[in-house]
Structure 1
Amino acid sequence: MIAAILAAPYPGFEAPDPAHEFSPEPIWSFNLFGLDFAINRLTVLSWFASLLLLVFLVAASRKPKIVPGKLQFAGEGFYGFIRNGIARDVIGPNGIKYAPFLATFFVFILFHNLMGIFPLAMIPPTGSYGLPLILALIVLLFYIGVGIKNQGLGTYLKNLAIVPGVPPAMHVILIPLEILQKLIIRPFTLSVRLLANMFAGHLLLTVFILGGVYMLSQPAMLLKILSPAAFLMALAMTFFELMIQTLQAYVFTLLAATYIEESASGGH
């Protein structure tokens, strides 16, 4: 992207639209069972992030030792953090059985988020709505299944829709709101929160990088002198984005655990 800008004929400066990168042109399109599918750059980056995650998990769990090596220590650290810091603390002692599910979500989202600062990638697949939506729908189906398994179908549907301790007349208003909130709004906000943060982070990094390139390409000496400041800000924003990427993976996993706990216990 930057190389293309530097190659632009002087004095013009044709910067690409950063938002357009989340809707890239298809690399390959095909039809399967009457449905149209397309593979684009974000798809490839998602495959690459998944491959990196798979290699990391296999390397971390291969030939485990009592005194762990660096990769085994990192893998156990991720799992232990989610098991003790989220599954056990949020769901309770019974939450340990959900730790593999939650830990998988955490590392999967984290590796995909990190594509936003990965060299030559510089864009997170989670910044496009498709992937966060699919992840949120998986969480939705999972906590519905947990609720039905732990409470039974009838009790789960009752606890899903009815708020205890309110006047009967209020149920006319509250039942639709409860169903809307738990089955529609929850997955929507869960996905949009991840999408918005990854999208905004990419835009900020692009603004500072393109700003530095723009100032460097201008004839005014003052702009050339100030251009390193923009690149330094881009570097600082990269470290800030690393923190946000990790935090958003944690927040998504934490909220998923909260919804699972509610479904498992039948609480409101």
Structure 2
Amino acid sequence: MIGVSGVGISLAAGSFQVPSVDEFMPPEILFQGTPFALNRIIIVRLIATAVLLLVLGITASRAKLIPGRWQGAVEWLIEFVRDNIVYQIMGELRGRQYVPMITTLFMTIFVFNLCGIIPGLNIAATASITMPLLFAIWAFAQYWIAAAKGKGLGKFLKDELLPSGVPWPIYIILVPMQLLDLVLIRPFSLTIRLFANMISGHILVALCFAATQFFLIDAANKAFIGLGAVTFVGGFIMTLFEAFVAAIQAFIFATLSAVYINMSYPE
């Protein structure tokens, strides 16, 4: 049994077992049977969070008026989220209060996603549905809070569930559909988009490198060595692609969160 990108691959007796989604639900390895039980993904989340807080804390404590390269890179990342996501969608006046939240979402998801290609961690901290769901709930809590402040909760629900200009018999179908969309479909789609992308990417990387080991080491027929070289190159390319996907998924999640919150305002 070997571990590739957080997925267990069995190659006993020359057989090749394809990894499944079930292997992204590892068993508890610390404090089993208690409310504080930890599995591998939770430990990776704790490590990634500690590293992120440590890096940002040290950067802030050593910040200078004329930034060095590292401080400049961190400031550029924060400004990118502020200017190209929050202000672009909400405008500066309204968006200013949401810059800390959206920046936190972007940076946390990005770092959590990158854990899948970091040696020693080898699994994304977003590779189980719990973390993406928590991020989505946070975004939609802000959505409802903004709606309650901007319109009042009653008027907001009336505008969303009973749009003007619709014949009244249509409301019988429209109201439950709109309510389902507000309460379930939007946060669920935000969750699944991140969760599914991270799982599918890691399975592809795992398949490539598992096939590489099988063709180069475990297969009895040495004619498969060429295929092993191909799958190795494919695994390397997929690893680079995973880094790209980690950034893109963080950007998409942060952007959609800002869009949803902005939709709750009166205009």
Could you say whether these structures have the same fold, taking a TM-score greater than 0.5 normalized by the shorter chain as the test? Answer: yes
Task: Give the distance between the partners of 2:137 and 2:9, measured in 1 at CA.
Answer: 42
Unpaired segments of 5 or more residues in structure 1?
none
SS at match of 1:125: coil
- How far 1:62 moved relative to its partner? 1.7
1:256 maps onto 2:257 in alignment: yes
Q: For 1:58, give the aligned amino acid.
A: G
Q: For 2:84, give the aligned amino acid.
A: G
Instruction: Give 1:29's aligned residue.
Output: 32
- How far 1:244 moved relative to its partner? 0.8
Instruction: Give 2:65's aligned residue.
Output: 66
Identity among equivalent positions (%) equals 31
Instruction: Give 2:74's aligned residue.
Output: 75
Unpaired segments of 5 or more residues in structure 2?
none
Structure 1 stretches of 4+ with a deviation exceeding 4 A read 2-9
- How far 1:39 moved relative to its partner? 1.0
Task: Give the distance between the partners of 2:229 and 2:8, measured in 1 at CA.
Answer: 17
Q: For 1:202, give the aligned amino acid.
A: H
Q: For 1:90, give the aligned amino acid.
A: I
Alignment of 1:84-103 (within 5 A): 84-93=83-92, 94-103=94-103
Contact in 2 for aligned 1:18/1:203 (Cα 8 Å) = yes
Relative to structure 1, is the Cα distance of residues 14 and 226 closer, same or farther in structure 2, using a 3 angstrom cutoff? Answer: closer
Task: Give the distance between the partners of 2:191 and 2:45, measured in 1 at CA.
Answer: 16
1:240 maps onto 2:233 in alignment: no
Instruction: Give 1:219's aligned residue.
Output: 220
Q: For 1:231, give the aligned amino acid.
A: F
Task: Give the distance between the partners of 2:175 and 2:10, measured in 1 at CA.
Answer: 60
- How far 1:40 moved relative to its partner? 0.3
Count of residues paired in the alignment: 261
- How far 1:243 moved relative to its partner? 0.7
Relative to structure 1, is the Cα distance of residues 245 and 75 closer, same or farther in structure 2, using a 3 angstrom cutoff? Answer: same
Contact in 2 for aligned 1:91/1:261 (Cα 8 Å) = yes
Instruction: Give 1:12's aligned residue.
Output: 14
Task: Give the distance between the partners of 1:234 and 1:187, measured in 2 at CA.
Answer: 32
Instruction: Give 1:56's aligned residue.
Output: 55
Alignment of 1:79-228 (within 5 A): 79-93=78-92, 94-217=94-217, 218-228=219-229
Contact in 1 for aligned 2:28/2:38 (Cα 8 Å) = yes
Task: Give the distance between the partners of 1:116 and 1:169, measured in 2 at CA.
Answer: 51
SS at match of 1:29: coil
- How far 1:228 moved relative to its partner? 2.0
SS at match of 1:127: coil
- How far 1:69 moved relative to its partner? 1.7
Relative to structure 1, is the Cα distance of residues 21 and 133 closer, same or farther in structure 2, using a 3 angstrom cutoff? Answer: same
Task: Give the distance between the partners of 1:63 and 1:126, measured in 2 at CA.
Answer: 30
Contact in 2 for aligned 1:211/1:227 (Cα 8 Å) = yes
Relative to structure 1, is the Cα distance of residues 172 and 16 closer, same or farther in structure 2, using a 3 angstrom cutoff? Answer: closer
Task: Give the distance between the partners of 1:6 and 1:153, measured in 2 at CA.
Answer: 51
- How far 1:6 moved relative to its partner? 10
Q: For 2:25, give the aligned amino acid.
A: S
Instruction: Give 1:42's aligned residue.
Output: 41
- How far 1:125 moved relative to its partner? 2.0
Task: Give the distance between the partners of 1:57 and 1:69, measured in 2 at CA.
Answer: 14
Task: Give the distance between the partners of 1:234 and 1:139, measured in 2 at CA.
Answer: 34
Q: For 2:32, give the aligned amino acid.
A: S
Report which stretch shifted further, 254-263 or 169-178: 169-178
With the length of structure 1 as denominator, give the TM-score of the two structures.
0.90
With the length of structure 2 as denominator, give the TM-score of the two structures.
0.90
Report which stretch shifted further, 101-110 or 226-235: 226-235
Report which stretch shifted further, 156-165 or 82-91: 156-165
- How far 1:48 moved relative to its partner? 1.0
Task: Give the distance between the partners of 2:90 and 2:8, measured in 1 at CA.
Answer: 50
- How far 1:26 moved relative to its partner? 0.7
